[in-house]
A and B are shown apart, each in its own frame.
Chain A
Amino acid sequence: MKLTGIAIRNLERRKARMAFLIVGLMVGVATVVALLSLTSAMSADIQHKMENYGANILLTPKSNDLSLSYGGISLGGVSVDTRELNQDDLPKIETIPNSRNISAVAPKVLGAVEVNGAQVLIMGVDEKVEFHLKRWWSIAGEPIGAPDQLVAGSLVAAKLQLHPSDNVEISGETFVVSGILTETGSQDDNLLLAPLATAQRLLGKEGKVSFVEVAALCADCPVDDMVRQISSVLPDVKVNAIQQVVKTRMHALGEFRNFSLAVSLVVLFVGSLVVFVTMMGSVNERCHEIGIFRALGFRKHHVVRLILTEAGIVSIIAGAAGFVFGTMAAKGVLPLLVENAHGVVWNFVLGGGSVLLAILLGALAAIYPALHASKLDPADALRTL
């Protein structure tokens, strides 16, 4: 029989105590693992969404006039002689040095048309790009699928009493309302969406676009550089970076991360406390036992090794189990927080970290009785109980 053998006997024959220790440590480790996995999965998710969706560069015509709109209130309705961009110029955007960071170029034409005697803002869009870019749009019915189809914003639909598959007449042409945009709370609610070419024809703006949204492909790609590069290929265009959405999301994620950190610390603290209290509860028992070992001729380092072996075994089991349960919990919870999540993966670096963390905590808690007992004469240690 060696020291390891003694440690294993102790764990084998005092299962309840060992189970308590393992659970205490495991809960702490599992929480940390779960929260870490969740935050990293969520930031990966946001990263992914930002790569695929949402515009972050806006191209508008350069205008010498001062803007006549403020806070979304535009004077005099839609200004008639707004300047436009040339659709033919747009391919130049693809020539900038950072062109591979561009995931979508979404041109739009804006104008007013008369529908059933009311003035309505119509926006011509490249439907394939647009509906992909505005992934938060949800449509009752179908998105635009043909040149004679329209999608109506919720306010427009309410005002004109439009329903999916209704017909509307604009400038003597008949269109089908393929779908209604559910309320977005934004300016989009006031729009009638039409295919770009159709809208250009209706507005007499063939080959012209009013503005262009450009989506860059990554979270931290050099948007400012890209703005400069686009400005240089399109000198007559005003190029602005818009990062509002991204910033808001990043901010929310940052708060979640802080929250996770706080919860992790608390749970870890409680877990260590459980372990510590369990260990302390048996300090006297342990002390007496150590007295016996010392009387029988164990050196102090033998005793310390014995106790650390024991704590090590418990900690490794608890750390590994905590990692497994934590990851599984994160896998279970993630779909509730993020839709279409890419998922939590088994991160074995995190697994190694969990075991190390558990060993550290377990050893800290275990070493106290050992140190306490080794300060005493064996005779005094034997007297404790």
Chain B
Amino acid sequence: MSFITLNNLSKTYHTEAGEVRALKPTGLEIAEGSFLGIVGPSGSGKSTLLTLLGGLAKPSAGSLLIDGIDVYRMNEEKRADFRREYIGFVFQAYNLIPYLTAEENVMLPLAVTSMSSRKQRQAALTALQRVGLANRVGHLPNQLSGGEQERVAIARALVNNPPMILADEPTGSLDSSTSAEIMDLFQELNHEGQTILMVTHNVENRKYFDRVVSLRDGCVDVDEPKPTVKVAATG
């Protein structure tokens, strides 16, 4: 069985203007160690899919299995624990907490664990070093450039060594050279064995992915597994 399995997973938003079938029933299997790109036109359901994959919103139907765990059979609190242990999020808007320094933002996922403050600090520093920001530890988010904030967000996603990282347009608001640096960083992480699922608009980024799922109107339009898949960890 693959690491991530979607069984007819779907999401319909109910609004006053009517129903929006953002994601139609979708089946998908994703192997551990993948660097999966999710592409498609605006409004095609990319973010919706990623949100469902991250256990952030309840699907309308279907199920999601990650590492054999039925994510939406868990209650909300258990699902929070699951997110903390399994998933690192990188949001387009960075979503850093404005009143916490880079280091403190990175420590956040550890703040509700039993880890000692000293260990937390160590882990945060390691993660910040990993993204090349060891010299910005004490800065507040508004004292950092966009690219640096992005790196803090990535460090925060990495800090508790989750098996998978979900990123929604992480390069959406960065210039092309900074984008390339960030994508290189993701690629390095992937080469170290990190599973990464990334939503992107940018066709430039396609070359980094080992598989691209293309959405249209809430359906998987094209699914291109590259022949050069590095590791198919579990068959």
Interface residues of A (CB under 8 A from B): 1-3, 5-6, 9-10, 12-14, 288-289, 291-302, 377-380, 382
**Is B229's beta carbon under 8 Å from chain A?**
no
Given A5-B111, A6-B111, A9-B100: A377 and B80 interface contact (C-beta under 8 Å): no
Could you jot down 10 A-B contacts, CB within 8 Å? A3-B111, A5-B111, A9-B104, A295-B95, A296-B89, A297-B109, A300-B80, A378-B56, A379-B57, A382-B95
Tell me the bound Cα distance from A340 to B80 in angstroms: 65
- In the complex, how many residues of chain B place their beta carbon closer than 8 angstroms to a beta carbon of chain A? 30
Given A13-B99, A382-B95: A296 and B57 interface contact (C-beta under 8 Å): no
Q: Which residue from B84, B91, B104, B140 sits with its C-beta under 8 Å from A297?
A: B84
Q: Which chain B residues border A380 with CB–CB below 8 Å? A: 57
Q: Which chain A residues border B30 with CB–CB below 8 Å? A: none
Q: How far is the CB of A308 from chain B (nearest CB, A)?
A: 15
Q: How far is the CB of A209 from chain B (nearest CB, A)?
A: 82
Given A1-B117, A300-B76, A300-B77: A295 and B89 interface contact (C-beta under 8 Å): yes
Tell me the bound Cα distance from A225 to B82 in angstroms: 78
**Is B183's beta carbon under 8 Å from chain A?**
no
Tell me the bound Cα distance from A12 to B111 in angstroms: 18
Other A-B pairs beyond A13-B140, A297-B109, A380-B57, 15, CB < 8 Å: A1-B108, A1-B111, A1-B117, A2-B111, A2-B117, A3-B111, A10-B99, A293-B108, A295-B56, A295-B89, A296-B156, A297-B81, A298-B80, A299-B80, A382-B56
Tell me the bound Cα distance from A297 to B140 in angstroms: 22
Say what secondary structure dominates the interface of chain B.
helix
Q: Is the CB of A1 within 8 A of B56?
A: no
Q: Is the CB of A3 within 8 A of B104?
A: no
Tell me the bound Cα distance from A380 to B47 in angstroms: 12
Q: How far is the CB of A287 from chain B (nearest CB, A)?
A: 13
Q: Which residue from B51, B99, B156 sits with its C-beta under 8 Å from A9?
A: B99
Say what secondary structure dominates the interface of chain A.
helix
Q: How far is the CB of B128 from chain A (nearest CB, A)?
A: 14
Most buried by B among A6, A13, A288, A291: A6
Q: Which chain B residues border A2 with CB–CB below 8 Å? A: 111, 117
In B97-146, the 8 Å CB interface with A consists of 97, 99-100, 104, 107-112, 117, 120, 140
Tell me the bound Cα distance from A44 to B63 in angstroms: 72
Q: Is the CB of A295 within 8 A of B111?
A: no
Tell me the bound Cα distance from A53 to B42 in angstroms: 88
Q: Which residue from A14, A292, A299, A382 sits with its C-beta under 8 Å from B99?
A: A14
Tell me the bound Cα distance from A382 to B156 in angstroms: 17
- The chain A residue sitting closest to B95, CB to CB, is A292
Q: Is the CB of A296 within 8 A of B108?
A: yes
Q: Is the CB of A299 within 8 A of B104?
A: no
**Is B58's beta carbon under 8 Å from chain A?**
yes
Q: Which chain B residues border A382 with CB–CB below 8 Å? A: 56, 91, 95
